Structure formats: C-alpha cells, structure tokens
Structure 1
Amino acid sequence: MGDFNAHLDFWKPVLPRSRRNRSGTSLSSFLADSNSLFLLTHPGLPTRIDPVSGNPSTLDLYLGNGPLLLTTITTGPYMGSDHLLVIIDFPSVPPPSPTSRRPRWSFKKGDQVSFQTELKSINPPTTLPSVDKIHFLTEVLVTVGSHHFHLVTSSPSSSFRIPWWSQKCAAALQAKRHAFAEW
C-alpha cells in the first residue's frame, strides 16, 4: 500500500487524459505484467481530498495477492489530514464447529488378509491426473474398507492427553478430592 501519486483513469475513472502521469502509466504497466500482484483499491475510491479545491482523488493504492483479494477497502471519516482514513476489512471465516462424533474404522472384527487381497485385485488407471488418482485411491479405500471392517463413531475423548500425567498423578488427584469432600 502506498501514496503512489499515480494518476490514471483506471483507478480514477473521471480523470481527464491531460491529468495522467508517468507514475500512473508505469504502475498500470507493472500490474498488467504481474502474475502475482493485483490492484485491491476499487476504481473511484477517493483516498485524498485536495485542501484547496475540495476535489477527491485516488492516490492511496493497495496491491496484494492470495487471501488479500477477498478484502474490502473503504474510506473512513475525515481525521484532519488531506488523506482519508482507509479501512481494510478482512473477511472472517467462522471456525468449523467441533463434531461430537467422528467416524473411524474398527479393525477388531475385520479380516485384514481379505482386505489386502481385494485391494491387490484392483487395477488403478494409470492415465489419471494426480488429483484424480488421489480421489480414486480414497474411494477405493473407503469402498473396500467397508466390505471388511465396520465404520463406528465415538465421542471425542474428554480426558486430556498430557505426557507427564500418570496413574500416580490420578491417584493424588483422587485423594485430594476425597480429602476436600471430607473437610
């Protein structure tokens, strides 16, 4: 982001041809040739108010790529400068809700040998792109797995997996709780 002082009708559509400058054409050429950077400021967003004439102009430009392409850029209230406050809003993605039950394979009653035999009998296509090979493998494993094993669901473990926790710690905690209850 920056105050490029680059004048071009691409980001200020009402700009007369005579007001374009070399900074504007250079920046426009750079962006046209770039495969990784894009102009995030939408055309016509006034970022500076001329203190003499009161005319708005778009001088503060924002460039970015990847996740930044999802941002929304607006201007805020007048704060005493000839440049307006620029607000960049990053979209919030809600965290996925934790599942109370997650599927997993139960191998207790299954037959590992027949599972492997059926897998070996499948001839995978050799001409698929890598992404399709991954989907094919996933589908085969799930389908063949369902022939030989049961898919069960269980609640996530409520006990904490702490490396240093031992039976001795559990016994001490139980004794503490018992002592507190007696008190």
Structure 2
Amino acid sequence: MSAIPRPTPGQTVGPFFRYGVEFPGGEHLVPQGSPGSVRLYGTVYDGAGEPVPDAFLEIWQTDASGAVPAAEGSFHRDGETFTGWGRVHTTDDGGYEFFTVEPGGGFFAVALFARGLMDRLHTRFYLPERADDPFLAALDEESRATLVAERTPTGLRRDIHMQGDGETVFLAFR
C-alpha cells in the first residue's frame, strides 16, 4: 500500500537565508557614479517600526528608454551590461541601496524577503514624476504615498513598512 503524499509544512523565509544568496555587486545594476546613474535607497521597517537587519530586496526594471533588458548574466556584473535586476541585503540598521538608472517604464518592481514571511512580498517604487500611473490613480492618497519614491539630494528614497502605520502597499499576483 502506498502512502498518500502530503504537502510539506510551510516555513518562514529567514533569517537564515543570507548564506548562499549573496553575490558580489548585486546592488550595482550600473557602476556607481556612471552617467545617468541614480542611487535607490531606503530602510525596511517591521510592524513595530523597528529596522529589519536580516531582509533582502530584489528589483527588476526597464532600462532608461523603457525597454525590458534581454541580457543574460544577472549574477555577473561586468560593468557594462544592464540586466535590469539586482539583489541586496539590508544592513544592521535596516538600510538598503542600489545603483541603477531611472526606469523608462516609471517604476521599479520590488520583492522583499524577510523573517516571518511565508513567501516574498511584491511592491513597486514609482518615480515621483510618474505619480499619474493608472494603478496609482486607483489608490487612495495614503496608499499611493507608500509607493512613490522621494527625490533627495542623494538619490531616490523609498522606505518599506511591512505592517502598521504607513504600511507599504503590497501586490498579490493570481
């Protein structure tokens, strides 16, 4: 008699996941300081408003002209090829930063992996000039504000609040 297969119990995503997923240059979609480059940065906060030191983020984006990159080799940074993808771990104070170009498509697609999550969370960071996007227009003002990056003297800033006051809007894909 054969056993009936059962689903494997769910596990949370961390804090153990850092080993084996880091790679050199994951935050550099383009070389820092190169023409047209921008720093995308912020802090990840938990529901109590405390920084999350053991999360990581991935971004996907179009190039500056709005084209979806088709280059291979996302894990190898050669300093010239733009793949439109990056991965970075948060620092001890919950901070993260990427060096990239502003996406011609108007937003960065973001995935967040962190302790206590059963799966990654998806969101977007919009350029301030693209706040007229139809998706954003469908949200109330408070929700919309959680997705629009702030232009600062040092780049584009967008914090992520996993829960609580100012909780970032997360997207569900079906």
Query: TM-score band (shorter)?
Result: under 0.3
Which structure is larger by alpha-carbon Rg, 1 or 2?
1
**Would you tell me which structure has more strand in proportion to its own residues?**
2
TM-score of the superposition, structure 1-length normalised? 0.19
Q: Which has the higher contact order (CA 8 A, sep 6+)?
A: 2
TM-score of the superposition, structure 2-length normalised? 0.20
**Would you tell me which structure has more helix in proportion to its own residues?**
1
